[in-house]
Chain A
């Protein structure tokens, strides 16, 4: 499977930070693609009802592959790379929280449509992923 290949690929020891970033990026894209494909399949009733739970959890499965190798990867990062990831996570948290709160307030006021959480979560995930990628770019540039 594609995410198994990602976890086991050999990359030089001095590049674990890039490896972690690429792994997260790949898994994020894979999760997004699975979300779209499974949403399409559910809408067209291709999936039998007894397997609906599997289709619903499908987009989350790539994250299981991520956590599988995360501990080993984090131990391979040096102190500055850990700091870069930590700062990127701060940016991700700040941007996501700010935008979700803004959207929530605007939806509550009737300015924007008020989607239920069941349909809105893929967008929150994409927002988290996008703001994490933005954080990586900003922080890496700072230490370059």
Chain B
């Protein structure tokens, strides 16, 4: 699984340690997620999505894929 975590983190000028503190995980875990060596659990993935205020599918996507564009929901 790929993700845009590094990009999102860089946009906010956060270090890996900053992000780790916000997510209450270790810096090593953030690094492993960013490099694709570790896929987070659903609760952690949802926590990341909530932190960046983005849908989960715009942050995490399958290998070789692209983030799913968000569609506006019908009213």
Instruction: Identify the A interface with B (CB < 8 A).
Output: 14-17, 78-81, 83, 142-144
Contacts and interface: CB of A to CB of B under 8 A. Distances in A.
Contact of B26 (A78, A142, A144): A78
A80 B45 CA distance: 13
Contacts of B32: 80, 143-144
Of A78, A79, A83, chain B has the most CB atoms within 10 Å of the CB of A78
A14 B26 contact: yes
B37 A78 contact: no
Contacts, number: 38
Contacts of B29: 78-81
Interface residues of B toward A: which range?
Answer: 10 to 19
A16 B26 contact: yes
B70 interface: no
B37 to A, nearest CB: 5
13 contacts: A14-B17, A14-B21, A14-B25, A14-B26, A78-B25, A79-B25, A79-B29, A80-B29, A80-B32, A80-B38, A83-B38, A143-B28, A143-B32
Contact of B27 (A14, A83, A142): A14
Q: Helix, strand, loop or mixed for chain B's interface?
A: helix
A140 to B, nearest CB: 8
Contacts of B24: 78
A143 B38 CA distance: 7
Interface string B23-66: 01111110110000110110010000000000000000000000
B44 A17 contact: no
B28 A17 contact: yes
B26 A17 contact: yes
Of B27, B29, B31, B40, which is in contact with the most chain A CB atoms at under 10 Å from its CB?
A: B29
Contacts of A83: 38
Given A14-B17, A14-B20, A143 B27 contact: no
A79 B44 contact: yes
A111 B16 CA distance: 54
